[in-house]
């Protein structure tokens, strides 16, 4: 069984073909057209620019995915597409293309939740120490951490989830972007801050941690404000490595909260494994800190599968397709879609 996945929820135009390989799916192709250079001048994603870029890129990206996989439309069993959550204009481009292709080629259409797709990136066949073991039992705890989402989800089985908690304000990735802009480090903020932090002292600034004791929720708005206030106090000559120390101290505060609250949730709910997903899960300090605190195996992904991609959509679509999930032609986008 071969599934074409299409992903346009934010600023990545992506298409991929995966093949059902039993427990995990084999990636036959995974094509991503990035818009980073377009949005760098704004310090974040500009929605209208993103949707227009998707319109220009979607057809060539899908065609490239089919070529790279050495398959034609007749070799596909279904098309899986992200229909939410995400930016409305961006979602519409991918969904309408997928609906048109499915109708024109006589293929089933499988709707995929973008957050679920991030989880199912772990069900792609990958190599390395972080790869999911075929024998890993449920329940699993997923930390989905990206520019738009910071959520703890308990996965009881395929397709069965409980929402445990999430950010009450800024997502972790959003906070990285905003702080990187304050520190003039560039966009996207996550990699920029991580790189700067390597030269800094994480104890140079005592930034606050919002523990929200008794919950599995997160808050990063106060931390972001603390960075701003610190910058305002140092409006004259700044010590050597000032910005590196700021980046390292900020990163340490975010990572400590994410890792500790993930460990607490895993223990409280009897998770047998932890899945790190989303763009911020590429952060090396977060991976190290989570493994140090969590008592069960922590599974990570190759960097290309942390950020938005279509292979994860196709993997989630494979499991949905097996379960008999099909969408009608009235399928519409759901920008605020939740997983649980």
Query: pLDDT tens digits, residue range 328-339?
Result: 999 999 999 999
pLDDT over 90 at 40, yes or no: no
In the chain, pLDDT over 70 holds for what percent of residues?
100
pLDDT band (50, 70, 90) for residue 133: confident
Predicted local distance difference test score (pLDDT) of residue 238:
84
Question: To which H or E segment does residue 247 belong?
Answer: helix 242-268
pLDDT over 90 at 73, yes or no: yes
pLDDT over 90 at 55, yes or no: yes
Residue 114 DSSP one-character state? H
3-state secondary structure of 70: coil
Domain span(s) for CATH 3.30.420.40 in the chain: 2-126+305-322, 140-300
Average pLDDT value for residue range 246-267: 98
CATH topology of domain 140-300: Nucleotidyltransferase; domain 5 (3.30.420)
Distance from C-alpha of 248 to C-alpha of 242, rounded to nearest angstrom: 10
Structural tokens at position 36:
């980073």
**Which pTM does this prediction carry?**
0.96
Are the C-beta atoms of 163 and 151 separated by less than 8 Å?
Answer: yes
Angle at 100 between CA 96 and CA 104, to 5 degrees: 175
pLDDT over 80 at 136, yes or no: yes
Structural tokens at position 210:
């919002």
pLDDT digits (tens, 9 = 90+) for 203-212: 999 999 999 9
pLDDT over 90 at 135, yes or no: no
pLDDT digits (tens, 9 = 90+) for 84-116: 999 999 999 999 999 999 999 999 999 999 999
Give DSSP secondary structure letters for 138-156.
SPEEEEEESSS-EEEEEEE
Predicted local distance difference test score (pLDDT) of residue 239:
83
**189-217 burial, b for 16+ CB within 10 Å, e for fewer?**
bbbbbbebbeebebebbebebbeeeeebb
The fourth-level CATH superfamily of domain 2-126+305-322 is ATPase, nucleotide binding domain (3.30.420.40)
Predicted local distance difference test score (pLDDT) of residue 36:
87
Predicted local distance difference test score (pLDDT) of residue 151:
98
- Of 31-40, 243-252, 285-294, the one with minimum mean pLDDT is 31-40
CB-based burial label for 239 (10 Å; 0-12, 13-18, 19+)? exposed
Measured in degrees and rounded to the nearest 5, phi and psi for residue 321 equal: -65, -45
Average pLDDT value for residue range 281-305: 97
Strands 298-299 and 150-157, sheet pairing? unpaired
């Amino acid at each position: 069984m071969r599934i074409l996945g299409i992903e346009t929820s934010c600023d990545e135009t992506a298409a991929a073909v995966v093949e059902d390989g039993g427990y995990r799916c084999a990636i036959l192709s995974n094509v991503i057209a990035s818009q980073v250079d377009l949005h760098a001048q704004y310090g974040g994603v500009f929605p209208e620019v993103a949707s227009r870029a998707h319109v220009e890129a979607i057809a060539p990206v899908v065609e490239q995915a089919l070529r790279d996989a050495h398959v034609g439309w007749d070799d596909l069993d279904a098309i899986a597409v992200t229909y939410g959550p995400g930016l409305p204009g961006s979602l519409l481009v991918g969904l309408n293309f997928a609906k048109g292709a499915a109708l024109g080629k006589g293929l089933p259409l499988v709707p995929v939740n973008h957050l679920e797709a991030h989880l199912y990136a772990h069900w792609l066949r990958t190599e390395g120490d972080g790869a999911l073991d075929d024998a890993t039992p449920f329940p699993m705890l997923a930390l989905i951490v990206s520019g738009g989402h910071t959520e703890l989800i308990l996965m009881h089985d395929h397709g069965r989830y409980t929402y445990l908690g999430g950010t009450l304000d800024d997502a972790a990735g959003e906070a990285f972007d905003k702080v990187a802009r304050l520190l003039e480090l560039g966009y996207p903020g996550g990699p920029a801050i991580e790189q700067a932090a390597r030269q800094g002292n994480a104890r140079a600034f005592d930034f606050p941690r919002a523990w929200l004791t008794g919950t599995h929720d997160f808050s990063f708005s106060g931390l972001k404000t603390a960075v701003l206030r610190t910058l305002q106090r140092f409006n004259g000559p700044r010590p050597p490595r000032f910005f590196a120390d700021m980046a390292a101290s900020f990163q340490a505060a975010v990572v400590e909260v994410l890792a500790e609250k993930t460990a607490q949730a895993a223990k409280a709910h009897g998770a047998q494994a932890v899945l790190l997903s989303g763009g911020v899960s590429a952060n090396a300090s977060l991976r190290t800190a989570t493994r140090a605190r969590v008592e069960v195996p922590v599974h990570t992904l190759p960097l290309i599968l942390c950020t938005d991609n279509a292979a994860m959509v196709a993997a989630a679509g494979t499991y949905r397709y097996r379960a008999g999930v099909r969408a009608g032609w009235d399928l519409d986008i759901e920008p605020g879609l939740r997983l649980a």
